[in-house]
Amino acid sequence: MNRFASWWKEGVIYQIYPRSFQDSNGDGIGDLRGIIERLDYLKWLGIVAIWLSPIFRSPMHDFGYDISDYKSIDPIFGNNDDIDELIKKAHQSGIRIILDMVLNHTSNQHPWFIESAKGIPQPKRSFYIWQDPVKGKKPNKWKAAFGGNAWEFDAVSGQYYLHSFLKEQPDLNWRNPDVEEAIFKELSFWLEKQVDGFRLDVINLIVKDEAFRNNPFAWGQTIRPYDMQQHIFDRDRPETHEILKRMRSHIDTYENRMLVGEIMVEKPGNPRIVASYQGEDGDELNLAFNFSFNWLPMKAKTFEQTAQIWYESLGLQRWPCWVLSNHDVTRAITRFGNQEEKARIAAMFLLTQKGTPFLYYGEEIGMKDKRVTRNQIQDPVGKRYWPFHPGRDGQRRPMQWGPSRQFCQSDVSPWLPYHPEHKKNNVETQIADVNSLLHMYRNLIAIRNHDEALRIGRIKFLQHDIPDVLCYVRESEALIRLILLNFSKKEREIPSSLIAHALGDPSFRVLFNTRQDQIQETSDSIILRGYQGLLLCEGE
């Protein structure tokens, strides 16, 4: 299974939203056996690991991000034998498994919370964050990200409990060492089952200010009350780093495991804070998501500057990762006006940066977002904030496997409707077309998997004055690669001198081209067509 020295640094990781990937029993909801059926496809695509959004037992108020038992699989997704089989078969195919661990909060149906809510005093009480009323009111003015106040009154004890998201998602009290111990045991349960890593949900939120001070006011990006506070007391507390160091040591007692963390930020986010969760000495998370590229306009200069800031924030000790889309944000292709040629450039950028690329299921076929109608809304965010926020259902529609009902193979309606485009844009039609986006992803991933410079080489952006074009070099001990990306629809001329300078040789070879046509050369330049991307190396 060891395709690379360090799998989580060198390979491409693929996020699956299990409800929407493949249904195996015709109930309209994706499940673990469905994922097993699709392992051949994932292997063919060339990815090294899958990250599964939560599959644990859950009342599904937030579709699994509210866990009521960390050790068992929710019946909607299958059972514990299914996950064992998935782990085994994935490993046989050279694919690693990353599970999504929601550690900031549990479901209010978790036995810990049920116990905790029985009243004071008993040991589980301090597993959660309970506070007395202040002057007959809520302990402070913190808001919940999914609407309303962060405090819920409990008539049994006359206290309030804290929930950073829904009231069905009470926050764990990480200041209690028993919580840490209990959670580390849950992690061990899966590590012993040979799970390869964890994606840690909103991991920068786990510790709260001890004195529960109010957050200062902020001019938010949205009208959400949550965005009108500067979250300095209910997230990013310094103690979090100590916990992450211990968590990292814990998982490192097993071989070859990893942690990737979601760091919740307000736009535009501060990459230095994100990087800090990888530890000053790289001893916390192995990888941390920087969401800068989840909202960025498709402009060459902006992409370059944002990438540079990310590299600088990490320094050389910490390994970058890259992500354009996930289950919480509008898919990149839709943000780019549903234009496939732009998606190709973004994909080539993602797969040729230094660091681990993350793909979101369907990204490889250019799956698009479309809002669901009001009566189809499933997401609690959409239910609460429609029409200001349509919710996150648009990016969670069923995977488009084929022209008919390949997702659920039955006449039931899938839990979210297919994108209207699914009949013409799907895996089947794209496999049949060697020039499709899917083949582009597969070819570029294959090149990357065999190319030391692209996997682990240094990166250097080249200075030039060609508008809308990104030029950068990836370089290992033995190899040099030049990447040219045209972010505009206009042709751009690349002087041969720039190529010669980059590759140390005037002659070059094309390793990869986002377009099918021949490259046009003049005596002292090459022409990049609109939205063309090239990967060059030296040689005839």
Binding site for Ca ion (CB under 5 A): 23, 25, 27, 29, 31
Residue 201 catalytic?
Answer: yes
CB of 55 to Ca ion, least distance (A): 12
Rounded to whole angstroms, the Cα distance separating 348 from 363 reads: 12
Residue 312's contacts (CB-CB under 8 Å, 6 or more residues apart) are none
Exposure on the CB side of residue 519, measured as CA atoms within 13 A = 23
Is the CB of residue 440 less than 8 Å from the CB of residue 497? no
Least Å from the CB of residue 327 to ligand GLC: 6
**Binding to ligand GLC, residues 143-172 (CB under 6 A):** 165
Identify which of residues 151 and 289 has a Cβ nearer to ligand GLC in the complex. 289
Please spell the DSSP secondary structure of 472-540, one letter per residue.
Answer: EEEE-SS-EEEEEEE-SSS-EEEEHHHHHHHHTSS-EEEEEESSSSPPEE-SSEEEEPTT-EEEEEE--
Cβ–Cβ under 8 Å, residues 74 and 55: yes
Picked from Ca ion, ligand GLC, none, the partner binding residue 201 (CB below 5 to 8 A depending on kind) is: ligand GLC
User: Measured between alpha carbons, how far is 358 from 364 in angstroms, rounded to an integer?
Assistant: 11
Nearer to Ca ion by Cβ, of 78 and 139: the residue is: 78
Full strand arrangement of the beta sheet holding 525-528: 492-495, 525-528, 520-521
Which residue number, 162 or 300, has a Cβ lying nearer to ligand GLC? 162
Residues 262, 363, 369, 468: which is the catalytic one? Answer: 262
Q: How far is the CB of 405 from Ca ion (least distance, A)?
A: 13
Q: Which does 82 bind (CB under 5 to 8 A by kind): Ca ion, ligand GLC, none?
A: none
Under 8 Å between Cβ of 215 and 232: yes
328 counts as binding ligand GLC under rule CB under 6 A: yes
Q: Shortest Cβ distance from residue 236 to ligand GLC (Å)?
A: 15
In the complex, minimum distance from the CB of residue 20 to ligand GLC, in angstroms, rounded to a whole number: 13
**Is 262 noted as a catalytic residue in this protein?**
yes
**62 near ligand GLC, judged by CB under 6 A:** yes
Question: Residue 165 touches which of ligand GLC, Ca ion, none (CB < 5 to 8 A by kind)?
Answer: ligand GLC
Number of residues that bind ligand GLC (CB under 6 A): 9
- The label of the residue with tokens 């942690």 reads 259
CA 153, distance to chain mean position in Å, is 34
| 201 makes contact with ligand GLC (CB under 6 A) | yes
Strand order in the sheet with 508-513: 458-461, 469-475, 480-486, 533-538, 508-513
Interface pattern 249-288 for ligand GLC (x via CB under 6 A): -------------x--------------------------
The answer to whether 179 touches 206, Cβ cutoff 8 Å, is no
Task: Report in angstroms how near the CB of residue 347 gets to ligand GLC at its nearest.
Answer: 22
| 65 is a contact residue toward ligand GLC (CB under 6 A) | yes
| Per-position x/- string for 15-54, each x denoting binding to ligand GLC as judged by CB under 6 A, each - no binding | ----------------------------------------
Chain position carrying tokens 């794209």? 430
Tell me which residues touch ligand GLC (CB under 6 A). 62, 65, 102, 165, 201-202, 262, 327-328
Q: Catalytic residue positions?
A: 201, 262
